[in-house]
Amino acid sequence: MNRSGLSWVFAVLGGLVLLFIIAPLAGIFLKTTPLQFFETVQDKAVTGSILLTLVISLLTTVFFSIGAIPLAYMLARRSFKGKSLVQSLIDLPIVIPHSAAGIALLGLVSRDSFLGKAASSVGIDFVGHPLGIGLAMAFVSIPFLIQSARNGFEQVPVRLEKAAMNLGASSWNSFRKISLPLAKRSIISGMIMMFSRGLSEFGAVVIIAYYPMITPVLIWDRFNSFGLKYARPVAALFLLVCLIFFVALRLLANKSANDQNRKHI
């Protein structure tokens, strides 16, 4: 098969995959009337749920990145016994059923667990609380940040870090001024993926905190209680909001990376 023929085959196969992704999403919007969409926008329960989902996922991403980025750097730069096991454990939340993840987390933060009792002593209850929702979101989404950041650090030449330290820079300054800026694009990309994945989580969240309702739980609740007609407009609005945020974050990330590249030219 010549190059032209192969390109056509690949284009058709790729087009079918794109159609598989686009068709269900397009169907949600095409089957949602403007009146239904307008009523959903005015529904305070829906807009409040979307705002809650965005805020918790964003704060969770920022908070857990404090530990995830150093861990990614260690995985990229250090060899140690059990490293393969650690990498496998990091990927585990992606492959296990998220309902199982929710049950595992519930055992960790329930009122009769050590962590739950410690939190209760200071007036915090993870079950049915935004903090519990944040933990569930982080558990299933943090692998995306760690792996993306690790890939970014692996692409930073070790010789640049060694050169900085040979010139008198401390390990911290070498990390802060060399490694972190050069891996910035991958780190931001990972944070965007973690944030986006957190927005969509349902299985782990619903076990820990049915209330307050984040939007994926609200969509399920309306579908289960009232049917597809009442769930679809909520799904359409949430998809639109997620798409706007995702595209905006990607554009900002690309702009930041381009600005960084121009500084190094």
**196-220 confidence digits (pLDDT tens):** 999 999 999 999 999 999 999 999 9
pLDDT band at 5; cut points 50, 70, 90: confident
Which of the following CATH numbers is that of domain 47-264: 3.50.50.100, 1.10.3720.10, 3.40.50.300, 1.10.1740.10?
A: 1.10.3720.10
Largest CA distance in the chain: 71
**φ, ψ at 181 (rounded to 5°):** -65, -40
Name residue, tokens 């056509």: 8
**What is the DSSP track for 121-180?**
HTT---TTSHHHHHHHHHHHHHHHHHHHHHHHHHTS-HHHHHHHHHTT--HHHHIIIIIH
* Per-residue pLDDT at 259 exceeds 80: no
**DSSP H or E stretch at residue 31:** none
Q: Which of 6-10, 45-49, 249-253 has the highest mean pLDDT?
A: 45-49
Domain residue spans in the chain? Answer: 47-264
